[in-house]
């Protein structure tokens, strides 16, 4: 850490703390959170929508605003995930697993505050890695080729058995169905259509966002109208709740937060792997290392904390290859790269040498934005939590309209709206027989990475004449294989060591 680095950080801090830049951060955070809350409007879309607005600003101010939108949107997705079981962004899928059960138990406020604090902590950890370890971490990311991505996705898939209602067989069926849905459309290697059954529009494949809106939002609408309940949940504001949640996170979730933030940062560095994968892996790891893994999915703050800290840590991680190598680590980071280029800045190692004031101003502003998110997020929670006081029928019909907008907006396709509707009805019926939407979404999220990694690795193996050399003997791939095997075996091992009953493997509904 030399004197010049310290001077750059100090200059960055002074830039970030200018009143105009603070104002831009507050506006960006508020806008980002609102975009994140609305199902179908992703962080990528939020950043892309605001890029033209930054053209009239100084480059550093424009980037500060875009960074704040990115942070706000990733966090915002957790609000709808906790309140109405609808992840606002794909990164919040894992937040629904425990966030919504907390709401059903009358602990919505606690769930929202947990997600806010965990997001802030994850965001800060990711940004600190970006600030201090960007170079070495970017070099590690370069060691990831197709076999490593394949094994990373398989590692993520090991979560499937632990998600859902308790039947491993049904969890695996759901995951396989998600992966199969992900195979519809163009073959990523040969570029030929698959499983379109003569219906040409299916060539574009099943888009993730409309599918997720169907799996979570529309199916939740049907669950809301099926019963007698008047309200989605019970909202009780407790004085001193923020301090109580902070205390609980500090005493019970320190390890969870640190581990999840590290996972988020590392996954964020990998191009093509974003918050949705990081949060699922972090959730699974928290569950795996917990003394009583069966608590997960019933409304524990550790579940919300792990998912939210991981997906916000991705932001710092995704910016590491972008700022040091010019390779975006996630879709919103790719749009940010467009913003950088539009302002005449070329991402890469020269950015720090030639435009250090802009680069460090931007990075330090992410730290400030994450701290400001505590205030902005807390104020917005006071409004969003009131959705629980709206009668269930009103919430249900409004969510249907928002679901149509969200599923159409991604690529202006009526097919996507139809996919949302069909998958929504299927997910509702499936949930009645124990096929939960979580593993289906996980399969759908991981399908492109599995498929591309596998296809390219098989071609590499064909060229090298050895499957083992490609899949097992590369150092990082071998490490991921070991981690995958451990991920499958450790729950049973830990369970046995703690003297618990063996995990259920049979496949019956209502078990």
- Interface characters, 140-179, with another protein (x: CB under 8 A): -----------------------------xx-xx--xx-x
| Biggest CA-to-CA distance, the chain | 66
Report the residue number, 16 or 48, with the smaller CB distance to another protein.
48
Q: Nearest approach, Cβ of 409 to another protein (angstroms)?
A: 5
Q: Nearest approach, Cβ of 56 to another protein (angstroms)?
A: 17
The secondary structure element, H or E, covering residue 81 is: helix 59-84
The Cβ of residue 363 has, within 10 Å, a number of other Cβ atoms equal to: 25
Give SS3 for 29.
helix
Answer yes or no whether residue 488 interacts with another protein by CB under 8 A.
Answer: no
Burial class (CB in 10 A: 0-12, 13-18, 19+), 406: buried
Q: Nearest approach, Cβ of 191 to another protein (angstroms)?
A: 9
Q: In the 8-state DSSP scheme, what is residue 217?
A: I
Q: Nearest approach, Cβ of 76 to another protein (angstroms)?
A: 14
Answer yes or no whether residue 421 interacts with another protein by CB under 8 A.
Answer: yes
Answer yes or no whether residue 188 interacts with another protein by CB under 8 A.
Answer: yes
Answer yes or no whether residue 319 interacts with another protein by CB under 8 A.
Answer: no
Q: Which of 241, 418, 467, 476 binds another protein (CB under 8 A)?
A: 418
Say if residues 276 and 282 touch (Cβ distance below 8 Å).
Answer: no
Encoding tokens for residue 191?
């570029």
- Interface characters, 423-462, with another protein (x: CB under 8 A): --x--x---xx-x--------------xx--xx--xx---
Q: Which of 476, 363, 464 is nearest to 133 (CA)?
A: 363
Q: Which of residues 45-104 bind another protein (CB under 8 A)?
A: 45, 49
Q: Which of 145, 272, 338, 507 binds another protein (CB under 8 A)?
A: 507
Q: Nearest approach, Cβ of 425 to another protein (angstroms)?
A: 6
3-state DSSP of 160-195: HHHCCCCCHHHHHHHHHHHHHHHHCEECCCCCCEEC
Q: How many residues are present in the chain?
A: 511
Give SS3 for 18.
coil
Q: Nearest approach, Cβ of 1 to another protein (angstroms)?
A: 43
Answer yes or no whether residue 464 interacts with another protein by CB under 8 A.
Answer: no
Say if residues 75 and 312 touch (Cβ distance below 8 Å).
Answer: yes
Say if residues 168 and 503 touch (Cβ distance below 8 Å).
Answer: yes
Distance, in Å, from the CA atom of 417 to the CA atom of 3, rounded to the nearest integer, reads 56
3-state DSSP of 344-402: CCCCCHHHHHHCHHHHHHHHHHHHHHHHHHHHHHHHHHHHHHHHHHCEHHHHHHHHHHH
- What is the number of alpha carbons within 13 Å of residue 499 lying toward its C-beta? 0
Report the residue number, 315 or 417, with the smaller CB distance to another protein.
417
Report the residue number, 169 or 258, with the smaller CB distance to another protein.
169
Distance, in Å, from the CA atom of 510 to the CA atom of 487, rounded to the nearest integer, reads 26
Cβ partners under 8 Å of residue 117, min gap 6:
242, 245, 246, 249, 305, 374
Q: Which of 57, 140, 180, 481 binds another protein (CB under 8 A)?
A: 180
Encoding tokens for residue 309?
């800290």
Distance, in Å, from the CA atom of 121 to the CA atom of 464, rounded to the nearest integer, reads 45
Burial class (CB in 10 A: 0-12, 13-18, 19+), 350: exposed
- Interface characters, 196-225, with another protein (x: CB under 8 A): -x--------------------x--xx--x
Cβ partners under 8 Å of residue 374, min gap 6:
116, 117, 120
Distance, in Å, from the CA atom of 108 to the CA atom of 233, rounded to the nearest integer, reads 8
Encoding tokens for residue 168?
């491993």
Task: Tell me the window of 64-72, 261-269, 296-304, 394-402 that interacts with another protein (CB under 8 A).
Answer: 394-402
Answer yes or no whether residue 294 interacts with another protein by CB under 8 A.
Answer: no
Q: Which of 194, 252, 294, 295 binds another protein (CB under 8 A)?
A: 194
Q: Which of residues 28-47 bind another protein (CB under 8 A)?
A: 35, 41, 45
Answer yes or no whether residue 189 interacts with another protein by CB under 8 A.
Answer: yes
Report the residue number, 83 or 221, with the smaller CB distance to another protein.
221
3-state DSSP of 118-151: HHHHHHHHHHHHHHHHHHHHHHHHCCCCHHHHHH
Report the residue number, 1 or 401, with the smaller CB distance to another protein.
401
Report the residue number, 244 or 397, with the smaller CB distance to another protein.
397
Answer yes or no whether residue 404 interacts with another protein by CB under 8 A.
Answer: yes
Q: Which of residues 247-286 bind another protein (CB under 8 A)?
A: none
Answer yes or no whether residue 372 interacts with another protein by CB under 8 A.
Answer: no
Q: Which of 19, 199, 200, 227 binds another protein (CB under 8 A)?
A: 227
Q: Nearest approach, Cβ of 156 to another protein (angstroms)?
A: 15
Report the residue number, 459 or 489, with the smaller CB distance to another protein.
459
Q: Which of 53, 183, 258, 342 binds another protein (CB under 8 A)?
A: 183
First-to-last CA distance in the chain?
57
Report the residue number, 100 or 421, with the smaller CB distance to another protein.
421
Answer yes or no whether residue 510 interacts with another protein by CB under 8 A.
Answer: yes
Burial class (CB in 10 A: 0-12, 13-18, 19+), 49: middle
Residues that bind another protein (CB under 8 A): 35, 41, 45, 49, 169-170, 172-173, 176-177, 179-180, 183, 187-190, 192, 194-195, 197, 218, 221-222, 225-228, 391-394, 396-398, 400-402, 404-405, 408-409, 412, 414, 417-418, 421, 425, 428, 432-433, 435, 450-451, 454-455, 458-459, 506-511
């Amino acid at each position: 850490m030399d004197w010049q680095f310290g001077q750059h950080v100090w200059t960055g801090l002074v830039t970030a703390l200018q009143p105009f830049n603070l104002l831009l951060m507050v506006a960006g955070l508020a806008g980002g959170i609102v975009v994140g809350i609305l199902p179908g409007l992703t962080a990528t879309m939020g950043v892309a929508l605001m890029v033209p607005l930054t053209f009239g600003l100084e480059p550093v101010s424009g980037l500060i605003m875009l960074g704040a939108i990115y942070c706000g949107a990733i966090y915002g997705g957790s609000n709808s995930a906790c309140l109405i079981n609808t992840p606002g962004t794909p990164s919040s899928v894992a937040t629904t697993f425990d966030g919504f059960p907390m709401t059903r138990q009358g602990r919505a406020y606690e769930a929202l505050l947990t997600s806010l604090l965990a997001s802030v902590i994850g965001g800060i950890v990711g940004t600190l890695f970006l600030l201090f370890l960007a170079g070495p971490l970017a070099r590690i990311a370069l060691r990831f080729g197709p076999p490593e991505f394949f094994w990373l996705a398989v590692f993520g898939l090991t979560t499937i058995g632990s998600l859902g209602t308790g039947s491993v067989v049904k969890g695996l069926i759901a995951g396989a169905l998600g992966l199969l849905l992900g195979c519809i459309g163009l073959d990523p290697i040969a570029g030929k259509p698959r499983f379109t059954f003569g219906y040409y529009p299916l060539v574009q494949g099943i888009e993730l966002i409309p599918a997720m809106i169907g799996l979570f939002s529309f199916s939740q609408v049907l669950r809301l109208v099926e019963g007698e309940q008047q309200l989605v949940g019970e909202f009780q504001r407790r004085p001193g709740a923020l301090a109580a949640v902070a205390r609980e996170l500090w005493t019970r979730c320190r390890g969870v937060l640190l581990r999840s933030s590290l996972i988020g940062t590392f996954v964020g560095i990998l191009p093509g792997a974003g918050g949705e994968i990081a949060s699922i892996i972090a959730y699974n790891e928290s569950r795996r290392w917990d003394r009583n893994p069966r608590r997960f999915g019933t409304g524990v703050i550790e579940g919300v904390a792990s998912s939210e800290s991981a997906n916000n840590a991705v932001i710092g991680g995704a910016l590491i290859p972008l700022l040091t190598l010019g390779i975006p680590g996630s879709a919103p980071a790719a749009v940010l790269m467009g913003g950088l280029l539009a302002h005449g800045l070329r991402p890469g190692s020269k950015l720090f040498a030639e435009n250090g004031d802009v680069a460090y101003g931007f990075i330090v502003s992410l730290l400030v934005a994450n701290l400001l998110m505590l205030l902005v997020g807390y104020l917005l929670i006071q409004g969003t939590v009131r959705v629980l006081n709206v009668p269930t029928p009103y919430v249900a019909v409004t969510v249907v309209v928002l679901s149509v907008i969200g599923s159409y907006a991604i690529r202006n396709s009526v097919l996507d709206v139809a996919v949302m509707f069909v998958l929504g009805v299927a997910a509702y019926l499936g949930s009645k027989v124990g096929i939960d939407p979580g593993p289906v979404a996980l399969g759908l999220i991981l399908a492109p990475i599995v498929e591309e990694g596998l296809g390219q690795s098989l071609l590499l193996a064909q060229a090298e004449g050895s499957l083992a050399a490609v899949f097992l003997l590369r150092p990082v791939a071998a490490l991921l294989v070991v981690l995958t095997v451990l991920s499958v075996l450790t729950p049973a091992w830990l369970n046995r060591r703690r003297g618990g009953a063996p995990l259920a493997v049979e496949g019956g509904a209502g078990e």
